[in-house]
Chain A
Amino acid sequence: DVKVTQSSRYLVKRTGEKVFLECVQDMDHENMFWYRQDPGLGLRLIYFSYDVKMKEKGDIPEGYSVSREKKERFSLILESASTNQTSMYLCASSFLDGREKLFFGSGTQLSVL
């Protein structure tokens, strides 16, 4: 089975802190994605990557950056956390030609106080 592992299940940070969310997949997928999920707004794409060191902005990239130094690992960085970044963050991966078939991690619930 495909496994997408997110490093933290729950995270509490202070406003202004730099926050790192880590994601690792074990199926040799080319594509990796970061979404945030908020009530009433559904899943919104923050960034995605189709190869090592490659990244593309999603729908809501402001306030976020990403890093993909290895194929299996995709990191989401909040440079200076703000309260409006409190959310559930979901990492996903897929094969290059299978963007419709995403495999998700269990999510990180981030609270910024």
Chain B
Amino acid sequence: QKEVEQDPGPLSVPEGAIVSLNCTYSNSAFQYFMWYRQYSRKGPELLMYTYSSGNKEDGRFTAQVDKSSKYISLFIRDSQPSDSATYLCAMKDNQGGKLIFGQGTELSVKP
């Protein structure tokens, strides 16, 4: 079993839709939860960062962490064609461990 599981998609939605991207994990020691966005032919860039549990909002993006269920989500409201990218979840413990990435979900937002 992988430490982090992420549905690779692809996911295609119409412009303006609410998008939900999810990851599950097995290591209860994870404390840092990130979402990276990767445009085609580019490196990933950090989109959202959450420590421990709870929600974090940044504009149209909301990250949620449910540690009891070992489940994290990224919501995109009013999705735009410019949101078309691969979204990778990533997690780390607080003992100096490595960053563990999900496979990435490919999202396409159609005009």
Task: Identify the A interface with B (CB < 8 A).
Answer: 4, 40-43, 45, 48, 58-59, 90, 92, 99-107
The answer to whether A4 touches B43 (Cβ under 8 A) is: yes
- With both beta carbons as reference points, the residue of chain A lying nearest to B103 in the complex is identified as A42
- Distance (whole angstroms) from the CB of A64 to the closest CB of chain B: 16
The answer to whether B46 touches A42 (Cβ under 8 A) is: no
The answer to whether B98 touches A99 (Cβ under 8 A) is: yes
Complexed CA–CA distance, A4 and B44 (Å): 12
Mask: chain B, 5-44; 1 = CB below 8 Å from A; 0 = not? 0101000000000000000000000001010100001111
Q: A40-B103, A41-B103, A102-B46 are in contact. List 6 more A-B contacts (CB 8 A).
A: A42-B88, A42-B102, A42-B103, A45-B99, A92-B43, A107-B41
The answer to whether A107 touches B49 (Cβ under 8 A) is: no
Complexed CA–CA distance, A59 and B3 (Å): 13
Chain A residues lying within 8 Å of B98, measured Cβ to Cβ, are 45, 48, 58-59, 99
- Distance (whole angstroms) from the CB of A4 to the closest CB of chain B: 7
**Chain A CB within 8 A of B77 CB:** no
Name the one of B45, B88, B92 contacting A43, with C-beta atoms under 8 angstroms: B88
Mask: chain B, 95-111; 1 = CB below 8 Å from A; 0 = not? 01011011110000000
The answer to whether A43 touches B101 (Cβ under 8 A) is: yes
Chain B residues lying within 8 Å of A40, measured Cβ to Cβ, are 8, 103
Chain A residues lying within 8 Å of B8, measured Cβ to Cβ, are 40
24 A-B residue pairs with Cβ-Cβ distance under 8 Å, sorted by A, are: A42-B6, A42-B88, A42-B101, A42-B103, A42-B104, A43-B88, A43-B101, A45-B99, A59-B98, A90-B44, A99-B92, A99-B98, A99-B99, A101-B34, A101-B49, A102-B36, A102-B46, A103-B45, A103-B46, A104-B44, A105-B43, A106-B42, A107-B41, A107-B43
Complexed CA–CA distance, A17 and B104 (Å): 31
Given contacts A40-B8, A90-B43, contact A100 B88 (CB under 8 A): no
